[in-house]
């Protein structure tokens, strides 16, 4: 969250430009020779010795390396190359726990194989069944220096590469002279083609012969360069990393099912954490609600507009001088804040507040959050190790919690317990953490943050008068010291190889790369972990408030594995059509590749003024983000959905759809938490042989069964929808549409609807009607929408539990199947939901002699049956408990 454009543009004086070296020069380096090779059935080790005169392109080549290769599972190979003579930084297991190898796997049983040449040392990964090479360093020598590591692989021409985020590039990455830089930064405006808030050094490559994945476990800054070969007969992918080790996981994926590689990646970084059922409701926020009256009015106005509001959020406006763990006594007095929370909870709604990492540096001012942290000595330190590293954020000069310090969790949990207390503070249902790259407004080298705070007017003054306090509302780590190769302060601040950080030098707009952690690590190595470590610490603090209950934590900065703990929003986008469109690829990346499925963009745009038509379209698209929130900044016009008639109607229409689908969404999320199956899918995940789908990122599949195809051009009522060769059903008319593997042009798509199709072969459990809250929704009966595929069959599932427990005591998981006119429900029945099934809707039904008859539902006769000939929809009205296994015969 950042609106100070002048600050954003004030880059530091010492800007470091990206480094370019002729690739032919790098390819002429000597590389290494493999010696002392030792193999067994599941592993290989070797020494790698520099093979000739050192290149020393960005420092001295390391003369001897250690290679370890382990076949960890039948689908995963772990390849690790380290300095044989000195310990180097590695991503700590406390931040990203590594999976244990399977004790029974052997190389012979693996789906992929590791192959190597001895002199020069090169290696490749190939698919066992076909011998197809998936990754090969042939002709590209390994370079391993203190601050520069290079690995380069050859790939097929025009390779289909996805991942290497966070970014707003196309979902399928460009292959011509394209660089993906990984280094967390405060990226106001979320520009295309640059590094952004988070870092996920994983890519999936898809071929018609299968899909595989490559994960480099590194939090060091890096450029990943993708380029077509000069001959045009291939693509190269090159890692340029400024520290650490080479720690690769190669994932076999599958020759037929692209989603298998997502599940294999989840085995490495963790499956996503489940969130409460209410998290899938609609959320509202704004940076710029000036006082408690405005917050209360928004809640009231949503109710008056008959737009379901599940959760109200408040940005940093509520804080005193922008200081975390405080409220402004004049603008957001505690009694009024408690009144707001009590009102929301009494109406089955929820409340979330912002918490930033930066704590105001305020010695002698009786600011308890600072004083307690100072007493506990938990701040990120300056290189001298004795004074805290100072930054500049919203409250002015600040310090930063050191998440590696073993006492920081205690500090953070205590602050959450005391400030977000239902008894003495403000009760919250979820947490929102921002600015955790970490962000700093202090222009590097930040010699005098106090002067810069005055210059930038931080903290900013209030510009409105406080309301009458009596105004009525709602009336109508791993802490062990790790050894590392010694680098000078100059090298930590200015590495010889300069990654293409869009902020300039790697210390610009963030904590300095020479800042020191309590365990001896430096920000140079751990910078990209800061946001995820704050996320884990915050989630733990929230869980301690309500033991055993799930919580919602939404963060801005993420690293690999963050989804196992928190959700994510895509940052400070603009209210324009470009950001509307690229939000789709952003969601596909997070939910479909990086295992962060609870994700969404700021609907209608965060910065700049939205328009009625853009906001209407975005409300409808946003209803198919897993995390649905309207949010914008204080310099833009208010954009709550009720402010325009078209937007209000679009919101009512699409939230009605979302809420009726909420249990379908919840079931898909539960499956993701079990094994990593993606919640949101690009089309090629389901149609891997259809080459036309490989570059599509303006439509997507929500779960397995819903094709979402939003209008993506300003003021347009037309959209081209690509329908693969498959059976689909229009959501609104329920009529069958046969995809031909080509675009279908839809015209007259009004501003209050979004094109939506059900894939043939699906059974969707739907709530029979929507509701104003998810609590009320859970009391609504179900209906089943049966959409047979070309073979006449369909399947689906429904997961039910209490919606809040981390480990529910009971649950229900029903699998539905339809075949030969028989609908079967079979599964584990444990959670007593009390839900009723009141209707079946069979699509594509044919009847040559009027209305088909229904034999029975477990012996119970069903009489109320209707058939619509033009749409071929058979409706069966019934009333039976859903908490049971059953069979229904639909016999013409």
pLDDT at 731 over 90: yes
CB burial readout 166-198, b (16+ within 10 A) else e: bbbbbbbbebeebbbbbbbbbbbbbbeebbbbb
Model confidence at 6: pLDDT above 50: no
Confidence check: pLDDT of 187 > 70: yes
Q: Is the pLDDT of residue 14 over 60?
A: no
Average pLDDT (55-62) is: 96
The pLDDT assigned to 864 comes to: 85
Residue with tokens 């009971």: 810
**Residue 161, φ and ψ in degrees, nearest 5:** -115, 135
Identify whether the C-beta of residue 558 lies closer than 8 Å to the C-beta of residue 460. Answer: no
Work out the widest C-alpha separation in the chain, in whole angstroms. Answer: 88
- What is the model's pLDDT at position 1? 60
Contact 748, 720 (CB under 8 A): no
Catalytic residue among 154, 437, 514, 640: 437
Q: Measuring CA to CA, which residue among 680, 456, 555, 604 is closest to residue 184?
A: 555
The DSSP code for 631 is -
For tokens 């199709």, name the residue. 757
Whether the per-residue pLDDT at 5 is higher than 60: the answer is: no
Instruction: Report the pLDDT averaged over residues 127-141.
Output: 97
Instruction: Name residues whose C-beta falls within 8 Å of residue 567's C-beta, 6 or more positions apart in sequence.
Output: 275, 279, 552, 553, 554, 555, 596, 597, 598, 599, 626, 627
- Structure-token pair, residue 483: 């050894």
Q: Please, which pLDDT band fits residue 8 given cuts at 50, 70 and 90?
A: very low
Residue 72 a catalytic site member: no
Q: What average pLDDT score do residues 630-650 get?
A: 98
83 is catalytic: no
Which of the residues 328, 572, 630, 736 is marked catalytic?
A: 572
What pLDDT is attached to residue 84?
A: 97
Task: Find the catalytic residue in 317, 402, 427, 434.
Answer: 434
CA distances from 777 to 301, 387, 575 (A): 21, 53, 31
Average pLDDT over residues 473-483: 53
pLDDT of res. 849: 44
Reply yes or no on whether the pLDDT at 398 is more than 80.
yes
* High-pLDDT (> 70) share of the chain, %: 95
For residue 481, pLDDT beyond 50:
no
Tens digits of per-residue pLDDT, 84-109? 999 999 999 999 999 999 988 999 99
Q: What is the mean pLDDT of residues 641-647?
A: 98
Using the predicted structure, report yes or no on whether residue 850 has a pLDDT greater than 60: no
Residue 252 has pLDDT above 90, yes or no: yes
**Region of poorest pLDDT, from 188-192, 516-520, 708-712, 855-859:** 855-859
Tell me the average pLDDT of the chain.
94
pLDDT of residue 334: 97
Average pLDDT over residues 114-120: 96
Position 41 confidence tier, pLDDT thresholds 50, 70, 90: very high
Cα separation, 497 vs 483, whole angstroms: 23
Which pLDDT band, with edges at 50, 70 and 90, does 860 fall under? low
**pLDDT computed for residue 12 by the predictor:** 33
pLDDT at 23: 81
Judged against a pLDDT cut of 50, whether residue 402 lies above it is answered with yes
- Residue 1 CA to residue 629 CA, distance in Å, equals 14
The per-residue pLDDT for 889 is 87
Tokens of 689: 């042989």
Question: Residue 878 and residue 514: Cα distance in Å, rounded?
Answer: 68
What digits encode the pLDDT tens for the residues 531-555?
999 999 999 999 999 999 999 999 9
Is 437 known to be catalytic? yes
Read off the tokens for 506: 């790697």
Q: Quote the pLDDT of residue 276.
A: 98
Q: What share of the chain is helix, strand, coil (3-state, %, to 5)?
A: 20, 30, 50
Domains of the chain: 27-269 (2.60.40.1760), 279-668 (3.20.20.80), 709-891 (2.60.40.1180)
**Which pLDDT tens digit goes with each residue over 67-81?**
999 999 999 999 999
Is the four-CA dihedral 395, 400, 403, 405 of positive or negative sign?
Answer: negative
């Amino acid at each position: 969250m950042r609106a100070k454009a002048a600050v954003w543009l004030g880059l530091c004086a010492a800007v470091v430009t990206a480094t370019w070296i002729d690739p032919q020069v790098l390819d002429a380096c000597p590389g290494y020779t493999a010696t002392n090779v030792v193999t067994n059935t599941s592993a290989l080790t070797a020494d790698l010795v520099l093979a000739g005169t050192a290149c020393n392109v960005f420092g001295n080549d390391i003369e001897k390396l250690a290679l370890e290769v382990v076949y960890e599972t039948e689908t995963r190979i772990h390849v690790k190359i380290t300095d044989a003579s000195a310990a180097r930084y590695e991503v700590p297991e406390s931040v990203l726990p590594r999976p244990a190898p399977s004790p029974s796997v052997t190389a012979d049983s693996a789906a992929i194989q590791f192959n190597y040449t001895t002199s020069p040392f090169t290696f490749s990964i190939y698919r066992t069944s076909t011998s197809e090479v998936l990754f090969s360093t042939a002709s590209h020598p390994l370079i391993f220096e203190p601050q520069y590591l290079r690995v380069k692989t050859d790939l097929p021409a025009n390779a289909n590469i996805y991942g290497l985020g966070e970014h707003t590039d196309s979902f399928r990455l460009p292959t011509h002279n394209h660089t993906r830089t990984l280094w967390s930064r405060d990226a106001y405006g979320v520009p295309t083609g640059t590094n952004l808030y988070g870092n996920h050094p994983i890519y999936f490559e898809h071929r018609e012969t299968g899909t595989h994945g490559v994960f480099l476990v590194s939090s060091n800054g890096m450029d990943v360069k993708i380029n077509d070969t000069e001959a045009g007969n291939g693509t190269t992918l090159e890692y340029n990393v400024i520290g650490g080790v080479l720690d690769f996981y190669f994932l076999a994926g599958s020759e037929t099912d692209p989603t298998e590689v997502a599940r294999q990646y989840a085995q490495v970084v963790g499956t996503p954490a489940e969130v409460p059922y209410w998290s899938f409701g609609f959320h509202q926020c704004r940076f710029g609600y000036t006082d408690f009256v405005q917050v209360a009015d928004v809640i009231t106005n949503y109710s008056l507009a008959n737009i379901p509001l599940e959760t109200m959020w408040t940005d940093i406006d509520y804080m005193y001088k922008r200081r975390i763990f405080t409220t402004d006594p004049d603008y957001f007095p505690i009694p009024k804040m408690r009144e707001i929370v009590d009102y929301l909870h009494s109406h089955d709604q929820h409340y979330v507040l912002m918490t930033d990492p930066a704590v105001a540096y305020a010695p002698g001012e009786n600011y308890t959050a600072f004083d307690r942290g100072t007493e506990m000595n938990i701040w990120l330190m300056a290189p001298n190790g004795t004074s805290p590293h100072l930054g500049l954020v919203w409250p002015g000069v600040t310090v930063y919690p050191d998440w590696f310090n073993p006492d920081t969790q205690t500090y953070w949990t205590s602050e959450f317990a005391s400030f977000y207390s239902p008894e003495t503070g403000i009760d919250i249902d979820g947490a929102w953490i921002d600015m955790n790259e970490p962000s700093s407004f202090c222009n590097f080298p930040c010699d005098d943050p106090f002067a810069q705070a005055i210059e930038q007017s931080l903290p900013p003054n209030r510009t409105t008068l406080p309301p009458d306090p009596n105004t009525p509302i709602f009336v109508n780590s791993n802490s062990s010291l790790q050894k590392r190769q010694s680098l000078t302060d100059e090298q930590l601040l200015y590495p010889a190889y300069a990654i293409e950080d869009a902020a300039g030098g790697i210390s610009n707009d963030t904590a300095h790369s020479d800042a020191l952690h309590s365990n001896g690590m430096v920000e140079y190595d751990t910078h990209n972990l800061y946001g995820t470590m704050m996320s884990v610490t915050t989630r733990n603090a929230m869980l301690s408030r309500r033991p055993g209950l799930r919580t919602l934590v939404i963060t801005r900065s993420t690293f690999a594995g963050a989804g196992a703990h928190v959700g994510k929003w895509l940052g400070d986008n603009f209210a324009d059509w470009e950001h509307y469109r690229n939000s789709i690829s952003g969601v596909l990346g997070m939910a479909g590749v990086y295992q962060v499925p609870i994700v969404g963009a700021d609907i209608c745009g965060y910065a700049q003024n939205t328009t009625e038509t853009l906001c209407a379209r975005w409300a409808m698209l946003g209803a198919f983000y897993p995390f649905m929130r309207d949010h914008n900044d204080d310099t833009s016009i208010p954009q709550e959905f009720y402010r325009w008639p078209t937007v209000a109607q679009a919101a009512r229409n699409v939230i009605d759809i979302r809420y009726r689908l909420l249990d379908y969404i919840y079931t898909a999320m539960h499956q993701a938490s079990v094994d990593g199956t993606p919640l949101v899918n690009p089309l090629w995940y389901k149609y891997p042989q259809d080459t036309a789908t490989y570059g599509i990122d303006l439509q997507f599949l929500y779960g397995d069964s819903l094709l979402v195809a939003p209008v993506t051009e300003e003021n347009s009522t037309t959209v081209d929808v690509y329908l693969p060769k498959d059976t689909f059903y229009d959501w609104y008319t329920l009529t069958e549409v046969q995809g031909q593997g080509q675009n279908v042009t839809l015209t007259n798509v009004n501003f209050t609807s979004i094109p939506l199709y059900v894939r043939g072969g699906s059974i969707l459990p739907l709530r029979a009607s929507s509701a104003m809250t998810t609590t009320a929704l859970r009391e609504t009966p179900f209906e089943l929408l049966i959409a047979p595929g070309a073979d006449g069959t369909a399947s689906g599932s429904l997961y039910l539990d209490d919606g809040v427990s981390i480990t529910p005591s009971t649950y229900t998981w029903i699998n539905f199947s339809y075949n030969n006119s028989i609908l079967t429900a079979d599964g584990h029945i444990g959670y007593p939901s009390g839900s009723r099934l009141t209707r079946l809707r069979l699509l594509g039904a044919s009847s040559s002699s009027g209305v088909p008859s229904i034999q029975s539902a477990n012996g119970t006769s069903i009489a109320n049956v209707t058939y619509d000939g033009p749409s071929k929809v058979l409706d069966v009205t019934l009333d039976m408990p859903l908490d049971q296994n059953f069979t229904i015969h639909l016999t013409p």
